[in-house]
Structure 1
Amino acid sequence: MASTTTTTAILDEAHVGPTDNVAYVVRCRSTGRRLLVDAAAEPDTLLALVDGTLDLVVTTHRHHDHVGALAAVVEATGARTAAGTADADDLPLPVQDRLEHGDVVRVGDVLLEVVHLRGHTPGSVALLLRDPDGPDHVFTGDSLFPGGVGNTNGDPERFTSLLDDVSVRLFDVLADDTVVHPGHGAPTTIGAERPHLAEWRARGW
C-alpha cells in the first residue's frame, strides 16, 4: 500500500480485485476525515485501509469492477455515497450526492474538484486535489491511464467525447507535474502523457 502526503491530505491506495483496481483514500491531515475513491473489491482490505472510519465513497463510474465492495463498505461505515449524475442510477445502492462538472467534494478541510469526463461511461468523473505547495493530484477512474484514455468499445463518438474532455478539462488546465491516479495499474503524470495526445487521436483509441 503506497502513501503520499500533500499539504492538506494523506493519500493511501490499495490494489484490489482480479483486474488490479486501485482504491484510494484521501485523509484530511487536520481532521482525520476520510474519503474513498472507488470501493472496487475486497471490502475487508478497504475497511482496514480506512481504519473503519469513512465519511464518503465517491464512485468514479458505474462499471461493476468499481463497485464490488460498495454496499459492504457503506454498511460497515455508514459513509455517504457520491457519483456522477448520469451513472448514479446504475450503482448497486442509492447515491446521496449526485455530482456534476465543477462541483466541489469536501472531506474535512480537503477540497476536491469534480471533473466530468464523458465517454468511458456517460457519468464518469475525476477528482482533482490541488496542492499549493506541491504537485496536484487527479483521480481519473477509467478515463485516463498511462498510454491513453479509457475504453470506449470502438465507438468513435464516445472516443472523441472522452479525448476532447480529457484534453480540455485536464491537459489544458493542469501542470505537467500533476500526478494522475488511474482506476487500474500504475500512476503517471500529465507531463508524461501530454506529448501523446495527437497520437491517441490519430489511432482512435
Structure 2
Amino acid sequence: MSYTGDVTANGPADVREVPGLSISKIEVGDFGNNAYLLRCAETGDGLLIDAAAEPDRLLGLIGDMPISTIVTTHRHQDHWLALSEVAKATGAETVAHSLDAPELPVPVTRTVEHGDRVTVGVVTLEVIHLRGHTPGSIALLYGDGHIFTGDSLFPGGVGNTERDPARFESLYTDVVERIFDRLPDETWVYPGHGKDTTLGAERPSLPEWRARGW
C-alpha cells in the first residue's frame, strides 16, 4: 500500500519509507492531532513529533525500539497532552523552541532556535522557526523533500492567528520566505492536524491567503 497520509481516530498508522528514514503518522486525541514517529533506517533510533494525546497508543506505536527525542512543535495543549507520560516511559530528550518551552508540562531538555539541527540516529532535521501561530512554533525539515509543520501550515492556508493582522503577517512572511521561497514544489508537508499536502499544491494560493488575511 502506498502512503497517503490519510489517518483516522483509532485507526492504524500510515507508514512510508524515504531514503534514510521511516515516517509513521497517527491521529490521536479529541482534536484530531497528528503525531509522527520518525526512525533512522541505519540505527533504528526514533524521534516523536508531538506527543499530543493517547499515550498508550503512542507508546504502542513506538513499540520495543527506543526513541531518543520528543519534539513539541508549539505550546498549545492539544500538542503535548501525552508528553509527560511518553517522556517518562521512554526517557527521551524533550525539545522545543525557547519561546514556547516554558509553557510545556515537563522541563525541556533542549531548547532550539531557527536553523538548529535535531538528529535521529545518523539523520539530521533542520529547525525552522515560524512566528505567529505561537511565538515559538517550529517546523522540522528533512532534506528538501519532507517538512513537519505543526500548526503553522496546512492544506489551504497558514495556521490560526486569531485574526490578528500582525501575527498573520509574521506567520505568512515566515512561511513564504522560509519554506515556499526555499523549497521545491515536490516537498511533502506533514501538518499537525488533518491531511498532508505538497508545496506545489499550495503555492498557487499564496496570493489568496495574503489577501484574505488568514
TM-score (norm 1): 0.97
Q: 2:61 aligns with which of 49, 60, 71?
A: 49
Whole-angstrom CA distance in 2 between matches of 1:29 and 1:143: 28
**SS of the residue 2:22 aligns to:** strand
- Alignment match, 1:115: 128
- Report the Cα offset of residue 13 of structure 1: 1.0
In 2, distance between residues paired with 1:75 and 1:95?
13
Tell me the distance in 2 between the aligned counterparts of 1:50 and 1:190: 29
Give the 3-state SS of the residue equivalent to 1:74 in structure 2: helix
Task: Name the CA distance, whole Å, in 2 between partners of 1:84 and 1:49.
Answer: 25
- 3-state SS of the aligned residue for 1:198? helix
Q: CA offsets, 1:88-109, max 9 Å, x none?
A: 1110010011110000100101
For residues 122 and 130 of structure 1, the distance between their equivalents in structure 2, rounded to whole angstroms, comes to 25
- Percent of aligned pairs with the same amino acid: 58
Counterpart residue type for residue 192 of structure 2:
G
The whole-number CA distance in structure 2 between the counterparts of 1:9 and 1:170 is: 21
The runs of 5 or more residues in structure 2 that have no matched partner are: 1-12
Q: Which residue of 1 aligns with 2:6?
A: none
1:170 aligns with 2:179: yes
Q: How does 1:10-159 map to 2 (within 5 A)?
A: 10-52=22-64, 53-130=66-143, 136-159=145-168
| 1:183 and 2:189 matched | no
| Structure 1 segments (4+ residues) deviating >2 Å | none
Q: TM-score, normalised by structure 2?
A: 0.93
Structure-2 separation of matches of 1:108 and 1:177: 25
* Structure 1 unaligned spans of 5+: none
Deviations 1:41-63 (A, max 9, x none): 00011111111421100000000
Opposite residue 104 of structure 1, the aligned amino acid is R
Q: What is the RMSD computed on CA atoms of the aligned residues?
A: 0.7
Q: Equivalent residue of 1:98, what SS?
A: strand
Residue-pair matches, total:
201
| Structure 1 residue 12: Cα displacement | 0.4
* Structure 1 residue 197 displacement after superposition: 0.6
